[in-house]
Structure formats: C-alpha cells, structure tokens
Structure 1
C-alpha cells in the first residue's frame, strides 16, 4: 500500500472530566490540614490552649479513623488498593517503565502513596501518644490512667519531641512535592479541590453520588462519637 493511500491516524480523543477525588475525601483533606495546623499552633503556645489541643487531637483522631475505613469503602481512587502499590509497580515506576494499567497518572503515584501512608502512621502515633501523655503540670490524656507512669512519660517525650519533628518534616516534604508537580505542569491542587481531572475517555471515575455521601456522613458520625467517648474516659 502506498503512503498516499494509507488511512491517516485518528486524532486522539479529547480528554474528559473524570471524578477522581470524591467529596468525602476532599473534605477530609481540608479538615485534616486545618486540624493539624491548629494542633501545631495550640501545642506550641500551650497554656490555656492545651484544653483545645486535646480536643483537636480527638477530632483529628476521628478524621484518621474515618479515612482508614473510607479507604476500604470509599470512591475508587480513594481506596487503599489504589494508593498502596505492589513492589513490582514501585520498581517499574522508579525505572520509568510504568504501564497504562498501573493507573499511576490518575491517583497517587507510588511515592505519593508512600508519603500518605507515612503521614497517616505518624499522625496516628501522635494522636495515640497524646491520649496517654502527661505534661507533668495540669493536663493528662484521657487514657493516661490505663498506662504506667513510665509509658506515659515515654509517650509524652515522643509526642513533643521526635514525633512532632518527624510529622513536620513529612508535611514539609509533601508540600514541596506538590509544588514540584505544579511547576512541572502536573496540577494537583486544582483537582484536589474540584475532585475532577481531565483524562482520556473511558477512564473509570470514583462514585460520588448521594448514596456514597450519605454513607460517608454516617461513618463520620460514628467516628466522631467514638472520639467523644474516648475523651469522656479521662
């Protein structure tokens, strides 16, 4: 067949808006960011704000519990199965040999997913240590009476020392990574706020209808009640 008789290649189909981040996940990100900033400020100032620091810690604990469960029952791209990647996928990503079926251009890439897990783990450690902490002045965590004095002191040292520094370092790295992606033309902030990304037609999106949002609301209420109950134990 001569080049003149060959059929021209079809132009690529225009991208369409695909719901990647469902509303509950987006609200979680905004509330967690606000809560962590308020925790850092109130913990640094201390004094009368320690009471609010404790309340904010319980609220952040409820948010983390919600996200852990939502990562199982939430929207497609909010699920842990789409965030936590297997070793072969991570290896291909590091070597620059990813495959379309890996779906790395849609949700978190393997390094971003690892960053999310690391921050979740450190935040859980901070909340857990705060629940049994003792500032040796006037404030103890609501679960302080269930642990030994040595355990409470060790938890307090972690909470105010290495744990705090590690968390701030991870947050700084996460912010720098987001800014680096923005500068390279891979917008992350806009899609995280709107929930949508422009992707090839046929890309599966996250379910984000009334039923999913009602399920998230019920789950959030249960997590909030659990945090309130823990706070009442003190």
Structure 2
C-alpha cells in the first residue's frame, strides 16, 4: 500500500477505536519464538550443541502450538484471517488495499509469516534427523535411512541455516522500514495487543482474549511441549 493511499484512508476514516487484535497467547508466542530462534542461531554458530538442541525443541513446541492456535486462536491470529489470494496481494501492491489489510497481517506480512513458519519447520525437522558424526545427532536419526540423515544434515548445516538467518534479518529490516519510514505502529500492538482501527474498516470483530481462551492456549502449549519432550527423549 502506498503512502498516499494510507494517508487518504486515514483522512477519510477519521478517528478510530482501540481494538484487541493480537491475543496474549499470540503475543507470547511471537516474542518467545524470536528469542528462541536468535538463541538457536547463536548456539549453533558457537557450537553450544546442548543448548542448541534445547532451543530447537523449544522452537518445535512453539511451532506446533502456532499451528493449533491458527485454527482456534483469536480472530486475527487464525490462518483464515490472513490467507490471501493472488488478487488481494496484487491489489495491495497496487495501493488498493482492503481495510482488513490494515488490521491484522497485510498480504505481504502474511507471506512473511508463512515463509518463516515453513523454513523454521524444515530446519527443526532436519535438525531432528541430522548427525555431525562427532558429538551431536538428532533423536530421529536411528529411525531413518543413512541417505536421509545425510540429506538432512547437509541442509541443516548449510542452506537451512542461512535461510533462517536471511529470513530473520529480512523480517527485522521490514519491521524497521515500516516503523521508521512508513510510520506504521507494528511493535506496540504486538506488546499491548491493541490496535487503533479506523472507522473506515467498519465494525471490526476483536480477537477473543479472555481467561478461557488463555487457559485453552496454556493447555495446548503444554501438550505441544509434551510432544517436543517425548521426541527429545528418543535421543541416545
């Protein structure tokens, strides 16, 4: 969306109302994943393999939780809220964004989210099957063939590692661009959960973020953490 179209939308819409867009589980997931991924990259580069494995299992649990939360979470955290077709993406790039694009994830933001989740899922999966033949091997190496172990190890230590670093760097640069250049408030809503929604967007349904949904999220994450722990217990 161009700066002029954003300005026009804001001018036409008048004052807005604060709306709960990001529920607490989504916000905690976001910041926990950021810390875990940065830690996973750092420990991998420095050879601190025990912590690298621990953070990898943490990322695995977080990813499993996000998949589940993408179906039962708050309104704007569900995948259905930011799965856009080619037409929506093209309209957004031409400066004709739908009002919903300014509430949750934009079409470009949605592509970034799915790219990050996919690359991280592949990196964690290959890590579970990787073996450096020195001191570290994943818990699933004994369940797959040597050829699969070799392919997984090669990807995890080379292309996958740099793909994760590139995506993380690109994500940070994109956030800085939108915050510093386009003056979009992206960080604060992911801290507080609330976003100033213009009246142009009409009646916007907020994300559910009550005690019941938070307890549900806690139960789901506990189950996902249990799966990650069980997988880690297979390591010999």
Label 1:64 to 1:12 Cα distance change in 2 as closer, same or farther (>3 A): closer
Which of 119, 123, 128 aligns to 2:125? It is 128
Label 1:81 to 1:15 Cα distance change in 2 as closer, same or farther (>3 A): same
Partner of 1:221: 222
Q: What is the aligned-residue RMSD (CA, Å)?
A: 1.3
Please say if 1:56 is aligned against 2:29: no
- Separation of aligned partners in 1, 2:13 and 2:117: 39
3-state SS, counterpart of residue 198 of structure 1: strand
Moved more, 199-208 or 176-185: 199-208
3-state SS, counterpart of residue 104 of structure 1: helix
Where does 1:1-234 land on structure 2 (aligned, <5 Å)?
14-46=15-47, 49-100=48-99, 103-183=100-180, 184-200=182-198, 202-234=203-235
3-state SS, counterpart of residue 214 of structure 2: helix
Q: What whole-Å deviation, never above 9, does each CA across 1:8-45 have from its counterpart, x for those lacking one?
A: xxx96632210010000000011101101111111111
Bigger Cα Rg: 1
Q: What whole-Å deviation, never above 9, does each CA across 1:42-91 have from its counterpart, x for those lacking one?
A: 11111xx2112112111100100000110110000101111221222112
Contact 2:19 2:194 in 1 (8 A): yes
Partner of 1:8: none
Moved more, 74-83 or 12-21: 12-21
Label 1:12 to 1:129 Cα distance change in 2 as closer, same or farther (>3 A): closer
Report the Cα offset of residue 233 of structure 1. Answer: 1.3
Report the Cα offset of residue 185 of structure 1. Answer: 1.3
- Separation of aligned partners in 2, 1:171 and 1:138: 27
Report the Cα offset of residue 129 of structure 1. Answer: 0.3
3-state SS, counterpart of residue 102 of structure 2: coil
TM-score (norm: length of structure 1): 0.90
Label 1:141 to 1:15 Cα distance change in 2 as closer, same or farther (>3 A): same
Label 1:56 to 1:176 Cα distance change in 2 as closer, same or farther (>3 A): same
Q: Structure 1 regions of 5+ residues with no counterpart? A: 1-10
